[in-house]
Structure 1
Amino acid sequence: MNQTEAALAERSALAREIAREAGLQALAFFADRAELAVDTKRNAQDAVTMADRQVELLLRERIRARFPDDGLFGEEFGVEAGRSGFVWVMDPIDGTSPFIFGLDSWCVSIAVTQNDRPAIGTIYVPVADEMFVAERGGGASLNGAPLRLGDAATVQNGLVGIGASHRVEPGLVARFVERLLSRGGIFIRNGSGALMLAYVAAGRLAAYWEPHMNAWDCLAGLLIVEEAGGWIHDPREWSSLEAGGLVVAGAAGTRWDMLELAELTERLPA
């Protein structure tokens, strides 16, 4: 194992360790959520709780203690520059609205980028005790069992996850849904984009689309899908990591349909 591989292995081990620790802390808040104060950010649907903030503070503390030269980029406390070339991109609770309302569809999402490219992806689902993990070039797994997507899933025979937010024009989402239904597909939305990407990697969803996601919501999930043998719209095509952008991902058999539905037809072979 060379020096770079060792550095990645150490960070991957820490990502799994702190994702579980953070998830258990979030689960304690979830069990007592009636006591949580809920604030809003841009609008009433963009909620944040003390749990989000405390869990991200825990993640940052654990990372700084082990890798003080690494950068940090999280939903609640923004960017802290580093010097190592590694950046931890984290969402302490992806799916805050389901979390607040007592639904199970939330998770802890942690990615580590190396020179701006995702190298490690970890998604922990505390309610189900499921740990999705990927390392670039090393494959993906769920609770230690390898994940490998086949080519049988299509838009027509599987479920397509969709995401939406007030950052995008409502008609854009409505038009995608209309095109999907017209093509014989059906959709699901559970309130956590990271979790739905993990479900794509596990073969529970055939594909996922969201017109704009922030990096902390999707980088881990995109790498897990890619390493499970799926395809993704590469986030390097965003204007910047900080800006976020379009997310499309799926099993191999969904690619042409999803590219057309997402109006990315210039990517299709002639």
Structure 2
Amino acid sequence: MVASAVAREAGALQRRRFLARNSETVAYQFKGPQDYLTATDGEVEKLVRARLLAAYPGDTMLGEEDGGQISDNTWVVDPIDGTSNFARGIPHFCVSIALVHKGVAVIGVIHAPMVDELFCAAQGMGATLNGESIHASTATRLDRSLVELGWASRQPKSEYLTMLGKAMAAGAGVRGAGSGSLAVANVAAGRVDACVELHMYAWDWLAGMVLAQEAGARVNDFLTGDSLLKGNFVFAAAPGIAEELASALSVAI
């Protein structure tokens, strides 16, 4: 799969820049509240764009940093998901690549270079981690489950705190590790039982969504309306706790 090779190359670039950190390579700006940007974000996105569009010249690409156009075949890319971790020296980040074909996400690839993990999925073909099949967890009790609960500065803090309180009241173990893409990839791998966030952009979510679907997790319908450009609520959970979690959080899936 071309996307897998591109993700590995992009991840290798991330890794080199991370390990060669100095005051220039880790300098960061803020695009908005707690929304980090480094020079490496743009460098990786340019690499991915060049490789994908050379391989598929009739396709388009939508990237977090440089935008792009939407067509029948659109590659949706986050060059570094977990930029805050990358910028601050925390080795928990990845490159995320998805293909949306006529409004449906059909391919998802995520590479986490610091642990050399490559997650791949294609519609109807299952999900893999470094070539081995992965599946959502068999959890059936929310009070014994681990949930990644993301926070987005674009939503009122009160809404996040309300959702956090509901999850904890239901007995769920709650965490947040700073990468939405890796959160949902870990749901697909059965390491985490669910991940939920009030708002996430397509480049952060779609690759992991394909992984989670193909691994048997329950996910919400993300690609509705103009969510490819503007983002949406996100939910992915092991099938045995999905309804209980949705009810506890008062959300529809």
TM-score under structure 2 normalisation?
0.95
CA shift for structure 1 position 165: 1.6
User: Which stretch of the first structure deviates more once superposed, 73-82 or 194-203?
Assistant: 73-82
Match of 2:14 in 1: 26
1:58 is the counterpart of 2:43: no
Alignment equivalent of 1:40, drawn from 30, 37, 41: 30
Match of 2:227 in 1: 240
CA contact (8 A) 1:248 1:258 kept: no
- What count of residue pairs does the alignment treat as equivalent? 251
CA shift for structure 1 position 79: 1.4
Distance verdict in 2 for CA 1:255–1:81, change over 3 Å: closer
Match of 1:253, SS?
coil
Alignment equivalent of 1:113, drawn from 100, 121, 125: 100
Alignment equivalent of 2:197, drawn from 192, 210, 213: 210
- Unmatched segments (≥5 aa) in structure 2: none
Structure 1 CA distance for aligned equivalents of residues 179 and 64 of structure 2:
14
CA shift for structure 1 position 199: 0.5
User: Which stretch of the first structure deviates more once superposed, 34-43 or 147-156?
Assistant: 147-156
CA contact (8 A) 1:122 1:220 kept: yes
Alignment equivalent of 1:228, drawn from 215, 223, 228: 215
CA shift for structure 1 position 262: 3.5
CA shift for structure 1 position 183: 0.8
CA shift for structure 1 position 151: 3.0
| Percent identity (aligned) | 37
User: What RMSD over aligned residues (CA atoms) do the two structures have, in Å?
Assistant: 1.4
Match of 2:56 in 1: 67
Give the partner amino acid of 2:43.
Q
Give the partner amino acid of 2:19.
A
CA shift for structure 1 position 55: 0.2
Structure 2 CA distance for aligned equivalents of residues 154 and 229 of structure 1:
17
Structure 2 CA distance for aligned equivalents of residues 163 and 218 of structure 1:
12
Distance verdict in 2 for CA 1:224–1:112, change over 3 Å: same
CA contact (8 A) 2:74 2:99 kept: yes
